[in-house]
Amino acid sequence: MAVYTDITEDDLSAFLEAYDVGQLTSYKGIAEGVENSNFLLHTTKGAYILTLYEKRVNAGDLPFFLGLMHHLADRGLSCPLPLPRADGELLGELSGRPAAVISFLEGMWLRKPEAKHCREVGKALAEMHLAGQGFDLKRPNALSVGGWRPLWVNSEARADEVQTGLKDEISAELAHLENHWPKTLPDGVIHADLFPDNVFFLGDQLSGLIDFYFACNDYLAYDVAVCLNSWCFEKNGSYNITKGMALLSGYESVRKLTAGEVEALPLLCRGSALRFFLTRLYDWLMTPAGALVVKKDPLEYLTKIRFHRAIVSSAEYGLRIEGASA
Amino acid sequence: MAVYTDITEDDLSAFLEAYDVGQLTSYKGIAEGVENSNFLLHTTKGAYILTLYEKRVNAGDLPFFLGLMHHLADRGLSCPLPLPRADGELLGELSGRPAAVISFLEGMWLRKPEAKHCREVGKALAEMHLAGQGFDLKRPNALSVGGWRPLWVNSEARADEVQTGLKDEISAELAHLENHWPKTLPDGVIHADLFPDNVFFLGDQLSGLIDFYFACNDYLAYDVAVCLNSWCFEKNGSYNITKGMALLSGYESVRKLTAGEVEALPLLCRGSALRFFLTRLYDWLMTPAGALVVKKDPLEYLTKIRFHRAIVSSAEYGLRIEGASA
């Protein structure tokens, strides 16, 4: 939610000459994207997003992110499409930063999603998983099980500042997940951050998925776990099984979960909740007081970790399991 | 440059029902306007700006600002036009704040304006002064000569933290301006803040004036002084007389300055420079360290005060004075 880099009209107009977007008529820095600077452009041909990639994004990952969006859009998924330059490249440079021009997606993210929207999200997630097949670049998930301990090491000593007992509880949780993390599940390209603010709707129709800057290769069902965590809990911390059923049945209307995935789901949910807990805890402890940044409460995800720890079967998430009583 | 208030799609859609703007298709918080929250809306009918007025703006002034934009746009000035609601009101309420929907003006502000642009600005300023005639609401300029001492009283004791000797120099400057401020000059509605970021261009064509939230009643020539200060100095502090000539001749191509205005111009320039010096100094001293706000350097305006103090005749600004040698 910040614009880090200002750009001059001259530089921008010169930059845009390499693109088939018509004449620039306005550009506004928009309050979207924590990691990058984003501008909404109007030109004589329409609306576009200009993204300048700031230092927190590894420039080596950009071909993966932009290539993936292109791959997915080519296969009919509604997502932002990076426009090619006259030289065929998807990436240029502006104000000393890697920069891309991306199609503008109409739609709004839902501050109060309902079960019917969760169903659409589940469906779109599965469509993305299928559309991602055949994308040939690879990007391992740096924030999967192997990445949690390095994060934890940096926060562990101060964790009890946030809540007494946190140090022991999270240490045990992390050890459990490291020891029991599944070894083989169907994998592919996952979004890895499909929170409500990354899904656009027009009315009740899902109009697109955005922000692929955490996308990577990992277990597909891990992405389902991320969505259950981010879409199906109420603000008071309770799990809304109606939303869970909708999300999971939406997903399975496109791609059936395997028996292995169904069995692993509670553990994947714990892992996904721990991942967001750890990054939020890190930001919480490391962000200087007074900085005008919205710090997200890590404890929201502690509640979720505890909920998942008590789950015995994926049926408790609302998953319809063949031959089982839900 | 901030979005202070988030709004939900439901609230916004309900709010927009009172306006003839079609169906909402997207809205983005934009990094514009220091005092208010601004959103760029796309609807099935086009693009609009939604402004939520935050606490720093006096709600009692909003009818003046919105009415003025309406008055000016009606008279052919290119400026944002507040759209009326079905009940005829220009102001509604959203997320607990006064809110207005305003036409979207295409164009870009110039980071590096040239003399030809200064000419356009001078012309547009004079056009605004003429178009403002007949607007019947009044708003005295709280940041004119009578408002400077209260500002100074709050900063005076700490002024030498910024530069040694500042306390004495500014005290003397303020006393001089209070004693010599003109008593009668042509007055009317002035913009009072027509800096480069408040003037849009498409190519070299001026496409509109924005941000009327400092507009007020004051001497028209004071507005000229604000523009000379904000458009005609180079980054190194030197006055660019080519730009000054362009701005002043652009202005006089629409409205001739009176003999009294010509004579008063150096003093008005000193006063306008002091006004921006004082507000910047106040913000500089009062903004807590670490706050993510761009603090504008007050010393930029100290340089300008000193320059104007040495001016003997308005001809030195590039003003063509009849019967005088420039």
Overall CATH class of domain B9-103: alpha beta
The two domains B9-103 and B115-317 share their CATH topology (first three levels equal): no
Choose among A68, A67, A24: nearest CA to A46: A24
pTM of the model: 0.87
Q: What is the C-alpha end-to-end distance of chain A, expressed in Å?
A: 41
Choose among B17, B21, B38, B16: nearest CA to B29: B38
Residues from chain B that touch A32, judged by Cβ atoms under 8 A, are: 28-29
Whether pLDDT at B310 is above 70: yes
8 Å CB contact between B161 and B186: no
Whether pLDDT at A42 is above 90: yes
With cut-offs at 50, 70 and 90, classify the pLDDT of residue A3. Answer: low
Report chain B's mean pLDDT, rounded to a whole number.
93
Report chain A's mean pLDDT, rounded to a whole number.
93
| Burial category of B278 from C-beta neighbours within 10 Å (exposed 0-12, middle 13-18, buried 19 and up) | buried
Residues from chain A that touch B31, judged by Cβ atoms under 8 A, are: 2-3, 28-31
With cut-offs at 50, 70 and 90, classify the pLDDT of residue B326. Answer: very low
Mind telling me how many Å the CA of B148 is from chain A's nearest CA? Answer: 30
Taking residues B296-321, report their average pLDDT: 94
With cut-offs at 50, 70 and 90, classify the pLDDT of residue B54. Answer: confident
When CB atoms are compared, the residue of B1, B9, B106 closest to A110 is B9
Whether pLDDT at B10 is above 70: yes
Interface test mutation site (partner B, options A108, A111, A114, A293, max chain B beta carbons within 10 A): A108
Which residue of chain A has the CA closest to B8?
A111
Q: Is A196 on the interface with B (CB under 8 A)?
A: no
Mind telling me how many Å the CA of B104 is from chain A's nearest CA? Answer: 10
Mind telling me how many Å the CA of A8 is from chain B's nearest CA? Answer: 6
Q: pLDDT tens across A86-134, in order?
A: 999 999 999 999 999 999 999 999 999 999 999 999 999 999 999 999 9
When CB atoms are compared, the residue of A10, A30, A291 closest to B290 is A291
Taking residues A234-251, report their average pLDDT: 97
CB contact under 8 A, A111 and B25: no
pLDDT of residue A54: 86
| CATH fold for the domain made of B115-317 | Aminoglycoside 3'-phosphotransferase; Chain: A, domain 2 (3.90.1200)
Taking residues B126-144, report their average pLDDT: 97
Q: pLDDT tens across A139-192, in order?
A: 999 999 999 999 999 999 999 999 999 999 999 999 999 999 999 999 999 999
pLDDT of residue B1: 40
Q: pLDDT tens across A188-242, in order?
A: 999 999 999 999 999 999 999 999 999 999 999 999 999 999 999 999 999 999 9
pLDDT of residue B290: 55
pLDDT of residue A1: 40
Strand partners, A27: A41
pLDDT of residue A208: 97
Which residue of chain A has the CA closest to B110?
A9
Which residue of chain A has the CA closest to B30?
A30
Distance CA(A198)–CA(B53), nearest Å, equals: 27
Q: Which of A20-29, A56-65, B189-198 has the lowest mean pLDDT?
A: A56-65
Residues from chain A that touch B2, judged by Cβ atoms under 8 A, are: 31
Interface contacts A/B by beta carbons within 8 Å: 89
Q: Where are the domains of chain B?
A: 9-103, 115-317
Q: Is A96 on the interface with B (CB under 8 A)?
A: no
Scanning B283-312 for CB atoms below 8 A from A yields 288-293
With cut-offs at 50, 70 and 90, classify the pLDDT of residue A325. Answer: very low
Choose among B49, B45, B48: nearest CA to B22: B45
Whether pLDDT at A35 is above 90: no
Mind telling me how many Å the CA of A24 is from chain B's nearest CA? Answer: 8
Q: pLDDT tens across B264-291, in order?
A: 999 999 999 999 999 999 988 887 665 5
Element of type H or E holding B27: strand B24-30
Whether pLDDT at B42 is above 70: yes
With cut-offs at 50, 70 and 90, classify the pLDDT of residue B36. Answer: confident
Residues from chain A that touch B201, judged by Cβ atoms under 8 A, are: 9
CB contact under 8 A, B108 and A27: yes
CB contact under 8 A, B109 and A9: yes
Q: What are the CA-CA distances from residue B181 to residues B138, B145, B261, B317 (Å)?
A: 21, 7, 12, 19
Q: Which of A11-15, B34-38, B208-212, B309-313 has the lowest mean pLDDT?
A: B34-38
Residues from chain A that touch B104, judged by Cβ atoms under 8 A, are: 26
